[in-house]
Structure 1
Amino acid sequence: MTDCLLLCTDLDRTLIPNGAAPESPQARTYFRQFVAQPQITLAYVTGRHLALIDQAILDYQLPHPQFAIADVGSSIYTWQNSQWHRWQNWDDHLATDWPKQGAIAIHHYLENHPALQLQESAKQSHYKLSYYVDLQENNQQLLIEIKTLLKQQNFSTHLIWSIDEEKQVGLLDILPSQANKYQAISFLMAAQNFSLTQTIFAGDSGNDEAVLSSPIPAVLVANAPQTLKQKLQNTCDRTPIYFAQGNCLGMNGNYSAGILEGIFYYFPEYQQWLNSTEGNI
């Protein structure tokens, strides 16, 4: 069994069962038991801001992580002495190619764009600018247009497109060029001395794609959109990704059941441990 494991997981519709697909009844119980092992370091990697992460932990009885990568990778926090501490080193890293005024400086050039609707203030941050986009829009053309416009203004940015499946609306996040979930996880891995063979990521949506198509071993939960599955199948010969299918421990592969299935695929010795403790769960 590997001596340590960094388990990074998205929240909404990956660990949190807030999609249309059903959750296996014992899945989160198994997950909580699994991450309680001392060799497991848990990190939540999400588009949520910190207050919404805390709310999710309470609402869904989630285990408390040691780290939180929030705001689609534009902030990193560590949990110490029963409180969150923001990583200034990550902020300093992102600040090198981001306007000093923050995201508001970029919004100035986009506020009159007819396809963009600014998201609520709670979903904005110094290093993240977020918009809603109607799904009728041609998102690929829109991203090219915005990227070109911002480049003309000498902004170095990273654009992330995803879809809120529940609300059926497009989500556009504009971040510093060095910020996304993959870059943030890589920064965390380097800081905490985790190698690729000691790390795994689980996700379900477009804003996870940078990690799902990266060298980091990854699992796509079974409830992920079919369009994303098809897209990632074209990269699976180049990147380590496992597609959860169900039937692991009699579960359906959705949400935390899929996370565990992926862990057992990459690290089968952990399934033996879980089987040995099943009677105590």
Structure 2
Amino acid sequence: MIPATGERILLATDLDRTLLPNGAQAESPEARPRFRRLAARPEVVLAYVTGRHRALVEQAIADYGLPTPDFVIGDVGASLYAVRGRTWTHRADWQARIAGDWEGRTRADLARALADLGGLRLQEPEKQAPLKLSYYAEALADPAELLAAVRARLRATGAACHLIWSIDETTATGLLDLLPAGASKLHALRFLGEDLGIPLLDTVFAGDSGNDMEVLESEIPSVLVANAESGVRAMAVERARSLGHSAALYLATGGMGGMNGCYSAGILEGLAHFIPRSLDWREVLA
């Protein structure tokens, strides 16, 4: 366990199948109310870190009764918003930092370069963003050949890109996101923490899937919720070990407060592991 060092905590969580109970496993009924009470504490800075765009984040907040976050890292790290009530302020400084990686190329330019590459299907327009190009693909166990072909096409454009591969287990569909090279959930979370002056050791991230992997394997204290797929769990453990970050990864198992460790129960369990003083907060276990 890595001890926290400060007063404020940056609690950052993925949405789908991490905070949102929209996977196959059951949700502990007391978990989300506890999470809402926790998020209301003044020392907690709450960030949602997601592949969703703004409208879908707002929909999730309404549909699931989620607390309004202080920040949203959206589009798998390609957008950053400060949120104050109903007012969302786009962080243009983050956008400017990552935009140069595409060397003036647009999303449409990159899509044209990949237009005749087999195995890819563009996602719906509402799932695209100015600095994110997203595709559906077959749920390949080993996407290395496909990704190599994509990278070769993109290199020819001159744009420096970061590729994020994951699988939506609810639909057995491969998901491929193309971002500027400096954009990812990890890069955006580091940027936000530095901007807020909150050390990484006072940050806790929660995730469940392949597009969370860069954070799960990093030096940022992270929890993998209990409902994560076994393959994701094994990969996160191995990658964190190989990078020397095993102490920064916690696997939720359930049992705390009678909860099962899935979804928000896992987030609370991981927070208690990395920030033990949170167990003294009535909001967590009340």
Name the TM tier (shorter chain): over 0.9
Identity %: 45
Q: In structure 2, what is the equivalent of residue 9 of structure 1?
A: 13
Hey, what's the Cα distance between the residues in 1 that align with 2:7 and 2:159? Answer: 43
Structure 1 position 119 matched with structure 2 position 123: yes
Q: In structure 1, what is the equivalent of residue 183 of structure 2?
A: 179
Cα separation, partners in 2 of 1:263 and 1:136, compared to 1, 3 Å: closer
Q: 1:158 aligns with which of 156, 162, 175?
A: 162
* Superposition misfits of 4+ residues, deviation over 6 angstroms: none
Hey, what's the Cα distance between the residues in 1 that align with 2:141 and 2:36? Answer: 40
| Structure 2 unmatched runs, 5+ | none
| Structure 1 unmatched runs, 5+ | none
Hey, what's the Cα distance between the residues in 1 that align with 2:70 and 2:258? Answer: 29
Q: In structure 1, what is the equivalent of residue 224 of structure 2?
A: 220
Hey, what's the Cα distance between the residues in 1 that align with 2:232 and 2:108? Answer: 31
Q: TM-score, normalised by structure 1?
A: 0.95
Task: Report the Cα offset of residue 235 of structure 1.
Answer: 3.1
State which drifts further: 171-180 or 193-202.
Answer: 193-202
1:18 match: secondary structure: coil
Hey, what's the Cα distance between the residues in 2 that align with 1:43 and 1:207? Answer: 16
Q: 1:253 aligns with which of 240, 246, 261?
A: 261
Cα separation, partners in 2 of 1:29 and 1:149, compared to 1, 3 Å: same
Q: TM-score, normalised by structure 2?
A: 0.94
Task: Report the Cα offset of residue 115 of structure 1.
Answer: 0.5
Structure 1 position 244 matched with structure 2 position 248: no
Task: Report the Cα offset of residue 236 of structure 1.
Answer: 3.7
- Are the equivalent residues in 2 in contact too, given 1:222–1:246 (CA < 8 A)? yes
Q: In structure 1, what is the equivalent of residue 272 of structure 2?
A: 264
One-letter code of the match for 2:15?
Answer: L
Deviations 1:159-196 (A, max 9, x none): 00001111110000000000000000011011111101
Q: 2:113 aligns with which of 104, 109, 114?
A: 109
Q: In structure 2, what is the equivalent of residue 201 of structure 1?
A: 205
Task: Report the Cα offset of residue 214 of structure 1.
Answer: 0.9
Cα separation, partners in 2 of 1:171 and 1:85, compared to 1, 3 Å: same
Structure 1 position 274 matched with structure 2 position 282: yes
Hey, what's the Cα distance between the residues in 2 that align with 1:169 and 1:147? Answer: 20
